[in-house]
Structure 1
Amino acid sequence: MLHSKEFNPSSIFEAKPTHYLFIANLIFIHIIFTLAVNLILFEHGYLSFIAKNTNHWINETLAANLVGLLLEVIIFLILIAKVSPRDFGLKIEKLRAGLLGTFLFWLAINIVDLCMVHLNHSELTLNNNIFSHSNLVFGEILGQIFGNALLEEILFRGFLLVQIYLCLKKINNKTTRMITAMLISQSIFAAIHIPNRIYSGLVGMEFVYDFIMLLILGVIFALLYILTKNLFFVIGVHSLMNIQIVFWNSNFTYTATLLCVLLLTCLLLCIKRKEFRAQQHQADMEL
């Protein structure tokens, strides 16, 4: 009995293939959408009235990305391209585990951040913004969970990563195929953020550094999706990467969040490698 020495990708790649024209059109639509949002809607404050009228519980980020979800996911992917939500990662049976994982990840961030505050002998003071401006704080979180992070994870991890993998049929080695799909899809993810970075005023080496960081984060999110098979969890991690919330004032929260993401990814990779070796050993025993 022969066995493969290549990594066997998870069931996220067992989706229904979509025609490459739909994939290309989705990328084009998202580019146009991103340009319109950042260079027109955000630039001229056309969505600010929504934030003002909802006391910032629905901020501009959430409003814009709800439009994106409607146009790109519901109308284009589901209604036009006939892609099932399950085929881009929205599996309801994964929701509870995703929520629990997100909560535990947030707790880990708080613990690591608290340790960093203590090790640096910084004064521990209460973060009053959580209580005095709770509408702004939780509005930002809602803008990520139900807006930016949700849309980006569906498009770039749930859909593009999987569909590009399925398109690369000529690459027989599954590991190489997966890595190639990851690099292509996450390069697109990083590149599509360029209008937002232009709007934010990034130039020169700051722009280059930010692009590289986006590519790395995209790969990390893709790895988390492959390793956990849970897009809801990745949406939660993505949200907490963009909006950090702790109950005390700290200068280390982003660093703590990044450290937790890296440690989690490494831990999951080690677990997966151990499982793979166990499977290889079992196959050797059956020879």
Structure 2
Amino acid sequence: MPVDVSDVYDVLADEGLVYGAVFRGMQAAWRRGDEVFAEVALPEEVADAADAFGLHPALLDAALHAIGLLPRADDEGTRLPFAWSGVSLHAVGARALRVRVAPDGRGGVTVDLFDEAGVPVAQVESLSLREMSREQLAVAASATASESLFGVEWVPAQATSDVVGGTWAVLGDSSLGDGGRVFADVDALVASADELPGVVVLECGPVEGGSVPDVVRDQLAGVLGVVQRWVAEERLAGSRLVVVTRGGVGVLGGELVDVRVAPVWGLVRVAQSEFPGRFVLADLPVGAGVEELAAGLG
């Protein structure tokens, strides 16, 4: 059964969801029982940008607007995407989509996306939804809420433990100075007869030579290999791996960040969230020695 979508964005605005022109991509829709089918497309002014994404964010957002056309009770609030599961991307660069949204039997929905020829573009096995009232949406859109943005604040760290006095080790070649034992890799560290140190340092770049993409890829692959080996070794459960970069993050604002090592921070932050207490990130200025590192590990 065809669904009139001529006023769909006016209805969404009344519920507290206001979309700009780029995100108003729904062209047509149909309903069959609990299923909704829709056609969405990017506006001409941004269609050429589709090739820069696996799936253009505005096109994906427009596809999810079909959720609002699912049957719901009169007193039910607006249902918004909350948690994604089983997401697969089959093709890239789509400018228009055919969409199927249906209940997944667990309170959420499945989303199937196809191009105009019916070729699969993406699939979401389960997208859980959370209900929000108009009042809650109004609060979220208020000036007070929009100004409540979190930021990163850096504060000086005071040394509270002696990291230099033989309690640390280094993986690979390092310029961090003398005082710690040096091991070629994690396997060499674990194989050592000595008691494993409480702090092990892995120093990253900057790496000279090669294109930036190649350097970034090689460096991330190397760090990922160390991180995976680290969490797989039970004997290292009581040790911390300190991943050190130089110029990989800005602290005071205005500093030049080395894009060759900055991606390491994103990778290790993921590891920190999955394995709390196992990893530390440290960024040192050029020429800084282990004494500066010790201050940040207290």
**Larger helix percent:** 1
User: What is the TM-score when the length of structure 1 is the normalising length?
Assistant: 0.22
Q: Which has the higher contact order (CA 8 A, sep 6+)?
A: 1
Rg bigger for which structure? Answer: 2
User: What is the TM-score when the length of structure 2 is the normalising length?
Assistant: 0.21
